[in-house]
Amino acid sequence: MDFVNAIILLLNYIFVPALAYGSQLALGAIFVTLIYGILRFANFATGDMMSFGTMVTILFTWYFQSLGISLGFLPTALLAIPFAIIFMASYMLLIDKFVFKYYRVNKSPPVQLAMVSIGVMFVTQAVVRIIIGPSDRRFFDGEKFLIKAGEFKEMTGLNEGLAIKSTQVITIIVTMILVSVLFWFLNKTRTGKSMRAYSDNEDLALLSGIDPKKIVMITWIIAGILATIGGALYGLDKSFKPFTYFNNMLPIFAAAIVGGIGNPFGAFLGGYVIAFSEILLTYAYKKFFMYVLPESMEPEGLVQLLSTDYKFAVSFSILVIVLLYRPSGIFKGKIL
């Protein structure tokens, strides 16, 4: 029985939250990797673009709520996301047209594009803060828990409860669907393959008659979808605060590089690698050991490898190690 309790404990505090957090990071990481693979620059505006998409989602959610439209036990935000995506994709295309296109046409070095993305980061951050303000916002409505800890305890008769938030389940399901569709698109459709070809060998793609303008446009649209959904899921699960989103750029970059930048599947896995290592290394295992070890061997301290203050530092250290030993990422495989 103690053993089952221990497993439930790990599920509740490590596995489920890490899976949800990892999914949110994965979407962001695929976004970074797509931009890097096809448009060939490190996009420092990633976090703020996600925050922009989330902001639009929130505005639409409020609008629907004011109209009295809801999805019952599901959050209204799910209904708002498609509209937000349209808005977001237009915003991305607009930025591309007025900012990035010039440098792409002039074949500027990637570093310059990265600098330009910092300009976009400032502007986007300002726009978000001017429109919705810098404060913490929750826009979740609907049923909060799928399983409550108490109910679970009653149901199973165990000491440990397993609480599953509906946002966690929504995050995981939506991510799985989105990522499957994306990989199907990249690997099976002609347009998707031409995107991979463009990312692989730009000159040869041009010689094969692939239209770069179309590729760039589709890339920004997909990026808009990923940014909006990734951001909105994070916001639903935790809360929306522009500054947090800016900071999230860092573990997202870590995930993309750990997975091998330019490799979407690697980025997807990278998200989970980062999420799990952050949570595994900063979790206090005292209770876990109390269940699995005999009473005489119970640990005195918290049995925590690192204090939770160092959560971010964990992912960054992983990144630094990966950069030093395997700059191409830990997952081999097809590039974009």
Partner 1 sequence: MRKNLNVIAAYCIMMGLIILVGIFQSWNIALSIFNLCLISAVMTMGANIQWGYAGLINFGIMGYTALGGLAAVLISVDPVQEAWSKGGFDILMSLFLIIIMVFVVRYILKKYKKSKIRTYSIASIIILGIIIIRFTAEPGIEAIEAVNPAKTGFLGGLGLPIIFSWIVGALFAGVLAFIIGKVALGLRADYLAIATLLISEIVIAIIKHEDWLTRGVKNVIGLKRPAPYEVNLQQTDWFINLVEKFNLSKLNLISDLSERQAALNQFVIEGSSVFVKLCYSGLFLVIVITLLILTQKALYSPWGRMMRAIRDNEEAANAMGKNVVKQHLLIFVLGSAIVGIAGAMLVTQDGLFTPGSYRPMRYTFLIWVMVIVGGSGNNFGAILGGFVVWFLWIEAAPIGLYLVNLTTAGLDNSHFLKVHLIESVPYFRFLMMGIGLLLIMRYRPKGILPEKIEIK
Partner 2 sequence: MAFFEGNNMTGGYGKGPDIINSCSVNVERGEIVSILGPNGAGKSTAMKAMLGLLNLKSGSVIIDGKNISHLSPQDRVKEGISFVPQNKNVFAGMTVKENLEMGAFLVDNDFKIIIEEIYNLFPVLKEKKDQLVGELSGGQRQQVALGRALMIKPSVLMLDEPTAGVSPIVMDELFDHIVKVKKTNVAILMVEQNAKQALNISDRGYVLVTGENRYSGTGKELLNDPRVRSSFLGG
Q: Where does this chain bind partner 1 (CB under 8 A)?
A: 41-42, 44, 99, 102, 109-112, 114-116, 118-127, 129-130, 133-134, 246, 250, 253-254, 257, 307, 309-310, 312-313, 316-317, 319-320, 323-324, 327
**Distance in angstroms (rounded) separating the CA atoms of residues 116 and 209:** 29
The structure tokens listed for 48 are: 């703020």
Among 2, 141, 151, 200, binds partner 2 (CB under 8 A): 200
Residue 197 in contact with partner 2, rule: CB under 8 A: yes
**Contact mark string toward partner 2, 205..224, x via CB under 8 A:** xxxxxx--------------
Measured from the CB atom, is 289 or 310 closer to partner 1?
A: 310
Cβ at position 42, least distance to partner 1 in Å: 4
* Contact positions with partner 2 (CB under 8 A) in 316-335: 334-335
209 binds, among partner 1, partner 2, none (CB under 5 to 8 A by kind): partner 2
**Distance in angstroms (rounded) separating the CA atoms of residues 216 and 222:** 10
Among 66, 107, 203, 295, binds partner 2 (CB under 8 A): 203
Cβ at position 154, least distance to partner 1 in Å: 39
Residue 201 in contact with partner 2, rule: CB under 8 A: yes
Residue type for position 231: G
246 binds, among partner 1, partner 2, none (CB under 5 to 8 A by kind): partner 1
134 binds, among partner 2, partner 1, none (CB under 5 to 8 A by kind): partner 1
Cβ at position 38, least distance to partner 2 in Å: 13
204 binds, among partner 1, partner 2, none (CB under 5 to 8 A by kind): partner 2
Cβ at position 200, least distance to partner 1 in Å: 18
Measured from the CB atom, is 95 or 186 closer to partner 1?
A: 95
Measured from the CB atom, is 246 or 268 closer to partner 1?
A: 246
Which range binds partner 2 by CB under 8 A, 135-143, 174-182, 190-198, 233-241? 190-198
Cβ at position 178, least distance to partner 1 in Å: 25
| Beta partners for residue 165, in sequence order | 145
Residue 112 in contact with partner 2, rule: CB under 8 A: no
Do 38 and 265 meet the contact criterion of CB atoms below 8 Å apart? Answer: no
233 binds, among partner 1, partner 2, none (CB under 5 to 8 A by kind): none
Cβ at position 274, least distance to partner 1 in Å: 12
SS3 string, the chain, reads CHHHHHHHHHHHHHHHHHHHHHHHHHHHHHHHHHHHHHHCCCCCCHHHHHHHHHHHHHHHHHHHHHHCCCECCECCHHHHHHHHHHHHHHHHHHHHHHHHHHHHHCCCCHHHHHHHHHHHHHHHHHHHHHHHCCCCECCCCCCCEEECHHHHHHHHCCCCCCCEEHHHHHHHHHHHHHHHHHHHHHHHCHHHHHHHHHHHCHHHHHHCCCCHHHHHHHHHHHHHHHHHHHHHHHHHHCCECHHHHHHHHHHHHHHHHHCCCCCHHHHHHHHHHHHHHHHHHHCECHHHHHHHCCHHHCCCCCCECCCHHHHHHHHHHHHHHHHHHCCCCCCCCCCC
The structure tokens listed for 284 are: 């206090």
**Distance in angstroms (rounded) separating the CA atoms of residues 271 and 46:** 15
Site residues (CB under 8 A) for partner 2? 190, 193-194, 196-197, 200-201, 203-210, 334-336
